[in-house]
Amino acid sequence: MARTLIPRPSLSASTLVSNTLKFKIMKTIKLIALAAILMLGAGCKGYLDEDLSGKVVGNAALGTQAGLEAALTGAYKGLGNTWATGFFHGTATGATMGGDDITTLVGSNKQEFREFDQFAVSAGNSRTSNLYFGCYKSIQGANNVIANYTNTKGDQQTINTIAGEAYFLRAFSYYWLTRLYGSIPMITTAEFSKDQLTIGLTKPADVYALIESDLGQAIQLLPDAKRDYGRPNKGSALSFLADVYLTEGGWPIQDASKYALAASTAKQVIDDHSKYGFEFLPTYAQIFENDPTQNGTAEDIFDITANMANGSTTEANYGWAAMPGDMGGWDDYFSELNFFKNFPPGPRKDVTFRLTYTMADGTVKTWEQLTSKHPYYGKFWIKGDVANWASSLPLVMMRYTHVLLIYAEAKARSGGPDADAYTYLNMVRQRGGESPLTQGSLSATQFADSVVQERAWEFAGERTRWFDLVRLQLVEKANANKNPGDLQPIGAITKSDYTFPLPISETSANPNLNP
């Protein structure tokens, strides 16, 4: 059989278009191609300019009152950005665990909290860095408002208020920073420049000078009434200034002349407290109702406010953080054993601590029966014992009671306690269920000591005790005889434990920040 090769048949093509049409198509295509190239050429000019619609760029944004207001709102954000920066979760409480009022669990995920309680804080501790970054984010926003408000057009009074709040935020943030870290980098300008990356540390004295000056500006610019619950008024600025002066009287500034200023400034607030809307509530229980439907209480000088409708504006210090694991809580913080045992009985102790705990199955345990064997702070439970970490409760950064006791202590340290000093201290003692002190019964030092002790009971767990111990250099003494059931300090406590190392990311970004 011969090989057969089948020739490829030509396909019967069904041509759609006639030859004439083909020619026209070609012509058209050539035209289209040419037109395309020409269009491209024509479009070149400005073709690559970036389209910035939808973006807020540059300082012009702060030229309007609304823009300035928006920038101020952003400045608050650093202080309250849940789980990210600021105070909305256990960072500030954790950072003050060196106080003898508060501790954490020996096991579980509390390693970073334990570092504070045991005086072995690592530069990598994320609890301090959350506060650190939050305060500086707020300072950046405040710097921006302060740098631009004089050029903003709008209602001058509102613009001044905005600026006043910005000065307040900057002072508030630097006050927290220098108390936590001592010497810190200090920035007062808004515009980023590369030389900021090599600056060195500013000593506490210079930081306090800025804080005083900023609070002075805030006092000038702020109105008597808060614009909203979460904002400061003139009284708030005065109260913080009094607190700053009190702190400056102690370590590390140790300028005793500040005590008189603390007393006089506190007195201004006390005298005008109604004007500023501050009240001393008749019962301790009213302060810690912790009703999320209320916007704080009349005792609040300044709150970082929350609204759990948004994940990043949710408060997480109340509820689970303060509840025992046996109930589903987080065991983040609870009372040290000796602190609880020495706490004077009375309505204040009843509100401060929880002593019985109802489990999911209905059984009730005492604090000794809890896994942690510690009493918990009932004052940080949400009304109705809501089992949740999230709430809309404000975090109270200072209470009017603080101002009363600032006056009492400062007065005692600047010429001795007067009748007002006794009155204010007794107001607090009596509300707490203690007997009043007789006018003139104590020496100035004794009186000051009793105020300091009163502050420990009154502000238990409220991030006050640690700073009192630091400024009065009582940290070593307060931690000397801890209950064996509590965490013990690792190694000896020294002055270097009074402040924390700057976050390691900061010193590695700028080695000039190494002390």
Partner 1 sequence: MQLTAIVLLTACIQVSASSLYAQRISISGKNIPLKKVFNEIREQTGYNFIYTNEDLKQASSVTLHQKDASLNDILEACFDNQPLAYSIYKNIIIVKLKEQTPAAPLMIRQMDISGRVVDSVTGNGLAGVTIQVQESTIGTTTGPDGRFSLSAPDNAVLIVSYLGYQTKTVLATGSSLQIALTPTTTGLNQLVVVGYGTQKKGDLTGAITTISSEQYQTQPVTRLDQVLQGRAAGVEVTNATGAPGGDVRIRIRGANSVLGNNDPLYVVDGFVGADFSTINPNNIASIQILKDASSTAIYGSRGANGVVIITTKKGQKGAIHVNYSGKVSGSRVLRTYDLLSAGEFAELVNTRNAILGLNPTYTEDQINDFKQNGGTDWQKEVFRDALGHEHELSVSGGGDKTTYFISGDYLSQEGTIEASDYKRYSLRSNISTQITDKLSFNLNVSVNSQTNRNTQLQSGTSNPAVQALVWAPTTPIYQPNGDYVLVDPVGSLKTNPVALLYDRNNLVTRTYENITGNVRYEFIDGLALEVTYVVNHLNQNGKSFNGTTVTNGNPSASQSSLEALTLQETNTLSYKHTFGGDHTIDAVAVLETQQYQDHYFDATGTGLLIPALGYSNLGLSASPAVSSGPTPWRLLSMLGRVNYSYKDKYLITASIRRDGSSKFHGSNRYSTFPALALGWNLTQENFIKDINVFSHLKLRASWGKTGSQAIQPFATQSTYNTTIYAFNNSNLTSGILLGNPGNPNLKWETTDQKDIGLEVGILNGRLNLDADYYVKHTTDLLLNAPLPGYVGGGSYASNVGEIENKGWDLSIGGEIIDQAHFTWSSHFNISNVQNRVVSIGKDIGDRIFTGSNVGAGTSTQSEFVIQPGYALGAYWGLKYLGTWKPDEEKEAAKYHNVPGDSRYEDVNGDFAINAEDYQIIGNGMPKTSMGWNNTFTYKAFTLNFFFQGIMGVDKMNYSLASMMSGSGDGRQITLAMIRNRYIPGKNETSNIPAFSRSNVVYPQSSRFLENGNFIRLKNVSVAYDIPLTVFRRKADLKVFLAGSNLWTITKYDGIDPEASNIGSGTDINQSIDYGAYPNSKTITFGLNFGF
Residues 410-449 that bind partner 1 (CB under 8 A): none
Classify residue 339 as exposed, middle or buried by CB count within 10 Å of its CB (0-12, 13-18, 19+).
Answer: buried
Of 194-202, 415-423, 445-453, 473-481, which part binds partner 1 (CB under 8 A)?
Answer: 194-202
User: Is residue 107 part of the contact set for partner 1 (CB under 8 A)?
Assistant: yes
Of 46-54, 278-286, 402-410, 461-469, which part binds partner 1 (CB under 8 A)?
Answer: 46-54
- According to DSSP, the residues that pair with 335 across neighbouring strands are 102
Task: For residue 305, report the phi and psi dihedrals to the nearest 5 degrees.
Answer: -90, 155
User: Is residue 509 part of the contact set for partner 1 (CB under 8 A)?
Assistant: yes
The least distance separating partner 1 from the CB of residue 490, rounded to whole angstroms, comes to 5
For 157, other C-beta atoms within 10 Å of its C-beta total 10
User: Is residue 65 part of the contact set for partner 1 (CB under 8 A)?
Assistant: no
Q: Which listed residue (443, 485, 494, 514) binds partner 1 by CB under 8 A? A: 485
Q: Which listed residue (185, 249, 252, 417) binds partner 1 by CB under 8 A? A: 185
Kindly tell me which of 252 and 501 has the beta carbon lying closer to partner 1: 501
The least distance separating partner 1 from the CB of residue 32, rounded to whole angstroms, comes to 7
Q: Which listed residue (65, 108, 158, 286) binds partner 1 by CB under 8 A? A: 108
Pair 166, 146: CB distance under 8 Å: yes
CA atoms of 204 and 213, how far apart (whole Å): 14
User: Is residue 515 part of the contact set for partner 1 (CB under 8 A)?
Assistant: no
CA atoms of 240 and 231, how far apart (whole Å): 13
Of 47-55, 89-97, 282-290, 345-353, which part binds partner 1 (CB under 8 A)?
Answer: 47-55
Residues within window 279-298 making contact with partner 1, judged by CB under 8 A: 292-295
Omega before residue 232 within 30° of 0, cis: no
CA atoms of 127 and 98, how far apart (whole Å): 14
Residues listed for the chain? 515
Query: Distance between alpha carbon 397 and the CA centroid of its chain, in Å?
Result: 8
User: Is residue 494 part of the contact set for partner 1 (CB under 8 A)?
Assistant: no
**Residue 486 CB-half CA count within 13 A:** 28
Query: Tokens 């200023």 map to which residue?
Result: 261
Kindly tell me which of 12 and 438 has the beta carbon lying closer to partner 1: 12
Query: In Å, what is the CA distance from 376 to each residue of 205, 289, 337?
Result: 38, 16, 10
Q: Which listed residue (63, 70, 286, 476) binds partner 1 by CB under 8 A? A: 70
Residues within window 361-400 making contact with partner 1, judged by CB under 8 A: 369-373, 387-390, 392-394
Omega before residue 252 within 30° of 0, cis: yes
Q: Which listed residue (1, 42, 364, 492) binds partner 1 by CB under 8 A? A: 1
User: Is residue 45 part of the contact set for partner 1 (CB under 8 A)?
Assistant: no
